[in-house]
Amino acid sequence: MEIEVNIKSIAIVKDLINEKYKVDISVEVIAEQYQPGQRPPRIELFFSNQYDNRRLVLPNPTFEYDEDTGKASFVGTYSYFLVSMFWDCKWKDCQLTIDVDYDNKIYEKVPFNVEFIGQGKKVQVDSHPDFLEIHMPQEIDCLYEKQPNALQTVLAILLKICSYLCAFLLTPFFVLDVLGMLTLHTEYVDPNLTGGFGNKFIHLLAWRYFSFCRNSRGSKGFKSQLLKLSYLTVSAFHPRKKGIMFLSNRRNDMTGNMEFVYEYLKKERGIPFYFWLHPEEIREAGIPMLLDMARKLGKAQVVVTDDYVPYFQELQLSRKTKLVQLWHACGAFKTFGFSRTGKSAGPKQNSTQHRNYNYAFVSSKYVAKYYAEGFGVAQEKIIPYGVPRTDIFWDEEVKTKIRKELYATYPELENKKIILFAPTFRGNGKNSAFYEKKRFDPNRFIEALPEDYILIIKHHPFVSLKYKIKEENASRIFDFSDKSEINHLLFITDVMITDYSSVVYEASILDIPMLFYAYDLENYISSRDFYTDYKEFVPGKIVRTQEELIDSIQNNDYEHELVKEFCRKNFDIQDGKASQRVAEFILSIAKKSKS
């Protein structure tokens, strides 16, 4: 469908206090011949200077539709702080272009007209047919936190020690003050503070103690300060970095992408390796664990991780240390990171979350721009070398071995038609994750299918849901949510049922027929959203009820022909050597940073 993309943008540039320069952008996209229910356009802003670039999306566009003309208008408006735009560079001038992703087409550097409602007293903006030039009155320094030298680090440590010692000496005063608050001046006590007298007393005493030490976050703040000071101390005394560190805050063992890369790297002689694998949050982490992280980080040339690490919100790595992100998931399906700025649970613009990656590896060029957007990094930092852990999907010998091991452990699965039920969770994260139990009845499901069908349930690790299986169905229904690697289960799967899970990428490599049980699609789009139109994206049939699910399996109706093209688009190099490519790249940057 041909559309008219007519941008009527309003750009207001102001300078705010503390030189936090802000640009307010409103972009209108007019689509001719719009079909009701069609996915709204994705309006992407691309800021660039000579050192860095940044892709952002205008969140939550409003919508107006004219039934008489069939024309729709989408308007996105948001404010962007230019001091938070780029990372680790000083800059004075930048350009802004606008891309529109709509109806499975990408319109790059869309021509637009600009109306200046107002212009900042200091910032100068020049308008061109397809880009804006923004000139700052003075050079802007980026978010990158400058590291103190060894002397400054030592002084900072001594100051902190003195503040905590002084606070300790003042403990009797704090005790009297808190008792006074709880008995005489209750109006000063936070009404949201729950629990009995003892609990309130301890909470307020800790608050008084840590506030005196300029620490508003209690024990978490204390641990953060300890981690930061310990790291700076170790880093200062190890100016010549050496070695590769594998760090994960989502697992406690060497599995996934990190395992595959390490197996290749460990063949290289003369390189020390460090490992820190702990899923605990900083509040839960013990002091020895934090000191161990600081010691290893301070020595490492390259740090390799596989997920978001909240600890890097607390400390900034030395420029001599390169941070490499292997990211645990394939492709770009659900929006994440800075793609969610301006939405529920999205990061703030000045967050350092993801921003400090020097390199990140992804499965294809097609998804690279989405990762650059989600991570908030320059597109040149996203390397489409493939996902290391998927190497086994192209290794027939490994696949055969895993199948034999599974059948040896679960002989009742052999020579059966395996259906893998692997939905993702609903909710905002680990603590609120759930799956609606009423949406899937495994007993009724398996009873509707022939005797040679077996159902394997594999819920997301965040979901604790357990189904009650009838005794007569116990030999046909297996809940492997707490056991077996999902990638291994794919090697024996004949049909997969999922919804919004990224396991769709691995399944496509094996050309597995898929059904997408998206009973809450509209709600999921409004709360989480996707990078592309879900209905056009998924490589299989979409069903909304369990009855439709059963009917599709009974009739072998999967729209299976979509899978191969999906795989081709999301995996540029299909040779099973991603681990080698990534490992060799890591070695090259380690040697480069050493020289």
**Which one of 158-162, 198-202, 301-305 scores highest in mean pLDDT?**
301-305
Ramachandran region of residue 458, left (φ > 0), alpha (ψ -120 to 50) or beta?
beta
User: Which amino acid is present at 78?
Assistant: Y
Supply the pLDDT for residue 149.
67
Q: Are 246 and 277 in contact (CB under 8 A)?
A: yes
The confidence score (pLDDT) of residue 452 equals 95
Task: Say yes or no: domain 240-390+577-595 is CATH 3.40.50.150.
Answer: no
Lowest mean pLDDT among 238-252, 360-374, 568-582: 238-252
Could you report the per-residue pLDDT of 203-232, keeping only the tens digit for each? 888 888 888 887 766 778 788 888 888 898
Half-sphere exposure of 429 (CA within 13 A, CB side): 6
pLDDT the model gives residue 404: 96
**Which carries the bigger pLDDT value, residue 267 or residue 496?**
496
For residue 492, pLDDT beyond 80: yes
| Confidence check: pLDDT of 45 > 70 | yes
Model confidence pLDDT, tens digit, residues 374-418: 999 999 999 999 999 999 999 999 999 999 999 999 999 999 999
- pLDDT 10s digits, 47-103: 999 999 999 999 888 888 888 887 888 888 888 888 889 998 899 999 999 898 887
Tokens of residue 443, six digits: 């007993």
Taking phi over 0 as left and psi of -120 to 50 as alpha, with beta for the rest, 59 belongs to beta
Confidence of residue 3 (pLDDT cuts 50, 70, 90): very low
Q: For residue 76, list its beta bridge partners.
A: 27
The predicted structure's pLDDT at residue 13: 52
The answer to whether 504 touches 481, Cβ cutoff 8 Å, is: no
Best CA proximity match to 420, nearest among 446, 394, 391, 451: 446
What average pLDDT is seen over the chain? 87
Alpha helices, H only, 115-217: 150-169, 171-183, 197-212
Q: What is the pLDDT of residues 417-437, one digit of tens each?
A: 999 999 998 887 777 888 999
Q: Name the DSSP class of 84.
A: G
Stretch 305-323: mean pLDDT = 90
Of 158, 81, 64, residue with least CA distance to 123: 81
What is the C-alpha to C-alpha distance for residues 119 and 121, in angstroms, rounded to an integer? 7
367 φ/ψ angles, rounded to the nearest 5 degrees: -95, -5
For 179, what's the count of Cα atoms within 13 Å in the CB-facing half-sphere?
A: 6
How long a stretch of residues is the chain? 595
245: pLDDT strictly greater than 70: yes
How far apart CA 268 and CA 299 sit, in angstroms, is 18
Q: What is the pLDDT of residue 83?
A: 85
- Unique residue bearing structure tokens 């009917």: 551
Q: Is the dihedral of CA 561, 542, 36, 26 positive or negative?
A: negative
The per-residue pLDDT for range 111-148, each reduced to its tens digit, is 777 766 555 556 777 888 888 888 888 888 887 766 66
Q: Which residue has the tokens 């000191």?
A: 291
471-to-338, 443, 518 alpha-carbon distances in Å: 48, 10, 29
Q: Please enumerate in sequence order all residues whose Cβ is within 8 A of that of 320, keeping only pairs 6 or more positions apart, or say none.
A: 239, 241, 301, 593
Q: What would the mean pLDDT of 329-352 be, rounded to a whole number?
A: 87
H/E run at residue 505: helix 503-509
Nearest Cα residue to 417 out of 513, 487, 486, 483: 513
Domain 7-141: give its CATH architecture: Sandwich (2.60)
| DSSP letters for 25-83 | EEEEEEETTPPTTPPPPEEEEEEE-SS-EEEEE--S-EEEEETTTTEEEEEEEEEEEGG
Tell which wins on pLDDT, 157 or 333.
333
Q: How confident is the model at residue 495 (pLDDT cuts 50, 70, 90)?
A: very high
Other Cβ atoms less than 10 A from the Cβ of 500: the count is 22
Question: What is the model's pLDDT at position 578?
Answer: 96
CA-to-CA separations, 541 to 3, 438, 501, 504, in angstroms, rounded: 27, 21, 15, 13
pLDDT of residue 392: 95
Lowest mean pLDDT among 284-293, 307-316, 560-569: 307-316
pLDDT band at 16, cuts 50/70/90?
very low
- The answer to whether residue 1 scores a pLDDT higher than 50 is no
Domain residue spans in the chain?
A: 7-141, 145-216, 240-390+577-595, 396-570
Cα–Cα nearest to 46, from 376, 384, 530: 376
DSSP letter, residue 147: P
What is the rounded average pLDDT of the residues 549-559? 96
Distance CA 477, CA 447 (A): 10
Is the CATH number of domain 396-570 3.40.50.720?
no
Q: Enumerate residues 6+ apart whose C-beta is below 8 A from 7.
A: 27, 28, 29, 98, 100, 110, 111, 112, 113
**Which amino acid, residue 232?**
L
Do the domains at 240-390+577-595 and 396-570 have one common CATH topology?
yes
**What is the pLDDT, as a whole number, of residue 474?**
93
The proportion of the chain whose per-residue pLDDT surpasses 90, expressed as a percent, equals 48
Average pLDDT over residues 431-456: 93
Q: Is the pLDDT of residue 518 over 90?
A: yes
Q: Which residue has the tokens 């994440």?
A: 336
**Which pLDDT value is given to residue 225?**
82
Q: CA-CA distance, 197 to 344, in Å (whole number)? A: 36
Q: Is the pLDDT of residue 15 over 70?
A: no
Give the contacts of 127 (CB within 8 A, at least 6 positions apart). 114, 116
